[in-house]
Amino acid sequence: MPPGFVIVGGGLAAARAAETLRDEGHDGALTVLAAEPRLPYDRPPLSKEVLKGDDEPDSTVLHDEAWYAERDIEVRLGVEATGLDTAAHRVTTADGESLDYDKVLLATGSRVLQLPVPGSDLDGVVTLRTLEDSVALRDRFADRPHVVVVGAGWIGMEAAAAARAHGCEVSVVSPAAPLIRALGDRMSRVFARAHRDNGVDLVLHAGVQSLRGKDRVEALVTTDGRVFEADLVVVGVGVQPNAELAAAAGLSLAEGLGGAVVVDSALRTSDPDVVAAGDVCAWPCRPLADRRVHVEHWANAHDAGPVAARTMLGKQASHDVLPFFWSDQFDIGMEYVGHTVDPATADLVTRGDVETREFMAFWLVDGRIEAGMHSNVWDTVDHVQDLIRGGREVDTARLADPDVPLTDL
């Protein structure tokens, strides 16, 4: 088979790129190497609707087998790429095959970090990354075990909320306050109060010393010596970009951003025939003065896949979107757009009623909005994006006034 396009990865960015390549003119060979034994699927429901039992697992699948067959897209499931030879233009796989390519997309995503303490290999100590993880955890929640969540980031807090929705007793153990690295202290307290109001025991400013049990986990011991009963421990302490292929191939990495692959605005890596998209890369965000950004959110993969495809086709393309994500926890429905390096040093302005959790929040640096969030206040994201892209200094008194339309700032 003559060289064609190879997509390494089987997630949302890969599926979106494959779709765009066919829709916009590529009629040659197109192969997707998916390390998971499943067709590409959406991940956000894994910690939300699927985990709570509101949606069926199959609802996450992006396209069925017939869709790929109709477009002559070869999807190799359960096939992991193990080598990238940029000089020979060749990808090798764990099963010993090799594929020559004209252009290759690295959409390898990220992997969850494990808890490096004694007992972390006990049965009942789990992570949440794949569809199988979510379904198994949902089924365990149905038995109403005593759940301890390690980590108070987005996955940890959403898992805690889902466990409470199933009626489980839940404790969250974390050295840092909930979501504080993303949102800063005041907004962290909003989410902390929502969890406490719904019966979650927040054990903060404490690390994990060990996990105890015989065949299964039975307890968690914190670094200050406290012991918490645990039938099930959910570890949510972060992720790491799957950049090993890129590193071994000599591509440039952003060491200060978790070792993500460095790309330009068109998602080209340091090799002109290799592009990267999604969790694995860090790109210059044009609306934020070309600051290099690395985020692991659905919208990044969704928007980057088509950009990568157009770049592979030799078309003009730019990944100039703002980071965006959302979360549902108890009575909080929130959406966040933009990115601020350190919310602790940014100026925080709110409008609305923070106490009732119906409000908006804005993070400003030098008088300019870098990020905005709403909680239970809808249809504002486009206006917030416009304010960030405008890059203008804003009057904070007017910004805080709910009677002043965002379009008038």
Alpha helices in 254-409 (DSSP H): 298-312, 381-390, 396-400
The pLDDT assigned to 256 comes to 87
The pLDDT assigned to 400 comes to 98
The pLDDT assigned to 3 comes to 79
The pLDDT assigned to 2 comes to 60
| Arithmetic mean of pLDDT over the chain | 97
Among the three residues 211, 235, 259, which one is the final residue of a domain in this structure? 235
What is the average per-residue pLDDT within 160-176?
98
- What are 40's two structure tokens? 């590409």
The pLDDT assigned to 390 comes to 96
Residues 156 and 209 in one domain: yes
Q: Is 149's pLDDT higher than 80?
A: yes
Assess if residue 56 is contained within a domain.
no
pTM for the model stands at 0.95
Quick one: pLDDT band at residue 307, thresholds 50, 70, 90?
very high
Residues 127 and 196 in one domain: yes
Quick one: pLDDT band at residue 321, thresholds 50, 70, 90?
very high
Number of structural domains (the chain) is 3
Q: Is 251's pLDDT higher than 60?
A: yes
Within 54-160, strands assigned E span 74-77, 81-85, 90-93, 98-106, 110-112, 125-127, 146-150
What is the average per-residue pLDDT within 86-109?
97
The set of residues, in sequence order, having a beta carbon less than 8 Å from that of 102 and lying 6+ positions away, is 3, 4, 5, 28, 89, 273
What is the average per-residue pLDDT within 56-65?
97
Among the three residues 202, 235, 268, which one is the final residue of a domain in this structure? 235
Q: Is 1's pLDDT higher than 70?
A: no
Q: Is 259's pLDDT higher than 70?
A: yes
Structural domain of 394:
331-408
Quick one: pLDDT band at residue 21, thresholds 50, 70, 90?
very high
